[in-house]
Structure 1
Amino acid sequence: MTLLSVHNLSTQYSAGRGTVRAVDDVSLEIETGETVALVGESGCGKSSLGKSLMRLVEPTSGQVTFKGSDVTAMSARELRGLRQRIQMIFQDPFASLNPRQTVRAILTAPLKVHGIGDGKRRREIVEKIAEQVGLPPDSLDRYPHEFSGGQRQRIGIARALILEPELVVCDEPVSALDLSIQAQILNLLVEMKQRLSLSYLFVSHDLSVVRYFSDRVLVMYLGKIVESAPTAALWASPAHPYTRALLAAVPDPAKRKHAAPISGDLPSPHNPPSGCRFHTRCPLATDLCRAEAPRYRSFGENHTVACHYAQ
């Protein structure tokens, strides 16, 4: 069953030098119980897309549908109801927590906003979710600065899950953590997915993490999705030159078999290249690539790619 459906979504920002096309004509779907990874270099629009789905950032055009309801047409009151069903885990586990509130207050706030339970019931819910995410028993009456980065991210996960959402947007939730702590948090997310029957949109630039964590991968470049495939198929047969370059950059010689790591800088989203946006860095680029944007075409079962010369 399709949980979230996105059609031709675009998000633009007004800036001093003009308009930034952070998300440009993106379409995707997330099925119930599925973990979809969104990968790409920093600045490609991943976080903007995740926030646009929840209308934390207002899309410029396009449509987002959640279980048949048009998110882009919702009123403020309807959006409040949606917040209970879609939640977000943020990248920075310190900046996303109120330093003046105890953990108990941070976790109780969503319950108060949505009118869930009385004082006693809220205490029970808070204590239960704290235990589920592995917070120490004495943590609820302490402040965020008293915790390590990994523990702070556990608090952020608890806050996102306390309303029992159906979809969680994970915006690079482990990128600010040490490697050993990353593994703990990823295992926790897997455990909570199974326990609470969650679906995830997992935003990341770390392909090693994505391979472990996701069912399907969307590769994003300069505001556009250039390849979509099941995780195993993407690793076995990456079709887009950008995808192959990303895989070649994984710091494991055994995985460097598809292409040389990507070179050059990401073009400015203020003035993206004509035609295929990757042509300025692509070793296969021709006049066709510079003149005409490629259409999506099938490269196997549930595997699509936007490239004139996909291999």
Structure 2
Amino acid sequence: MSTTLSGAPARATAPVDARPAPGGRRERVAWKRWISPVAILVLWQLASTTGLLAEDELASPLRVVQAAWDVTVSGELPEGLFVSLGRVIVGFALGAVLGVVLGVWSGLSHWGGLLIDPPVQMLRTLPHLALVPLFILWFGVQETPKILLVALGVLFPIYLNVHAGVRGVDPKLLEMAQVSGFDRREVLRHVVIPGALPSALTGLRLSLGIAWLSLVVAETVSADSGLGYLIMDAREFLRTDVIVVGLVVYALLGLGTDALVRRIERRALRWRGVQA
């Protein structure tokens, strides 16, 4: 132990960490991410104000904001949003349940893989958005073709990721669970599902984006309600401001649902130290 000139023992001092706190750094990075979007909005508004961008081709941001207020007050936007959300929820639930069931079955069972995987792999190569005319011919122009189109878009990414996740479970863990006396249900619950969960959540995020894309196409082709119908009706009257409002709402819904899944992913995979 070192001593001072007066003979008193010297106290050890901890080194000073000059590095900034992680929280402050994240805040600065988050702030910088807004620079380019704000710059784009300013340039967009300047181009509209100076006449470089015609209003009948693309409305200015201020007109878009005013249009958003108008369609919200009139009830058109809330009504269309409610209808579109209902279609996505029903179609996503249908496609997700079917994708998980088929993915687990084909991943665990030898015969399930032989019977299910080949036709699914063939069907997923088809552009499902091109099936809109056929769906309309089969099911009419009511809710069924729109919901089925969303479900079909959701099915394939969830199936592929669940199938890959189940097949990727360590065989030693399965063997250990069987030696420990686990029955089939306990193996599925304690080994297969935790092992396949990261891949399944990835498929969930992918499927949500495809679900909104499928809904946009379905509603703009044949619909008498919803956000897509609002956009197509605005196109007939050359209301580019309302069209942009609808597109922005679609984008915000996609970002919101993706953020929700990322939050679920952080909680569900906390044991892996995942920072989504």
TM over 0.5: no
TM-score interval w.r.t. the shorter chain?
under 0.3
Larger Rg: 2
TM-score after normalising by structure 1: 0.20
Greater strand fraction, Structure 1 or Structure 2:
1
TM-score after normalising by structure 2: 0.22
